[in-house]
Amino acid sequence: LRIEGFAEQVGYRAERLADHLGRLGVQAGLHDGADPWPAIRDVTWAAHLPGAVWRFSVPPSHGATLGAALRAGGAEALGYDWGGGLVWAVAPEGVDLRATWSGPGHGTLVRASPAMRMAIPPFHPEAAPLAALAAGLRARFDPRGILNPGRMA
């Protein structure tokens, strides 16, 4: 968790947060080393984990509910960013985590085996009206279908 503000405010908030997290059994501490945010942005914690990596974008108020649904659907590891609005999930190959969530937002398959990419489209399915509009644009701007064939269909 990132805490921002004036030094005294940050110190106070960090202490209170550490107290609360400690009661929940979560280890907390102040970071005083190298900047951790690039590693969080780049999702380096998931790089060594086996399985498929998913990226979900939802309103931040839905992050915890989405996380619970992803866990129930087979996610083995979760990471949260953007105040809960960006949820990263690692799941076994072949598991379509989008099937576990019917709330707002969308999910994208970021890393998977070639076989899984052939079986499960990487992008969230579009609503019928939006899909028709996108197909019309593709037909107008790429009538021969040579740009990224099958990629966005």
The tens digit of pLDDT for each residue in 65-115 reads 999 999 999 999 999 888 889 999 999 999 999 999 999 999 999 999 999
pLDDT band (50, 70, 90) for residue 151: low
Pairing status of strand 52-57 against strand 77-81: unpaired
Q: What is the distance between the alpha carbons of residues 140 and 35, in angstroms, rounded to a whole number?
A: 46
**Is residue 145 helix, strand or coil?**
coil
Task: Give strand pairing partners of 77.
Answer: 90
pTM of the model: 0.72
pLDDT band (50, 70, 90) for residue 125: confident
Q: What is the distance between the alpha carbons of residues 29 and 97, in angstroms, rounded to a whole number?
A: 32
Q: What is the distance between the alpha carbons of residues 126 and 45, in angstroms, rounded to a whole number?
A: 30
The first and second tokens of residue 143, run together, are 């009538």
Q: What is the distance between the alpha carbons of residues 112 and 18, in angstroms, rounded to a whole number?
A: 36
Of the two residues 23 and 93, the one the predictor is more confident about is: 93
pLDDT given at position 42: 86
Q: What is the distance between the alpha carbons of residues 50 and 87, in angstroms, rounded to a whole number?
A: 18
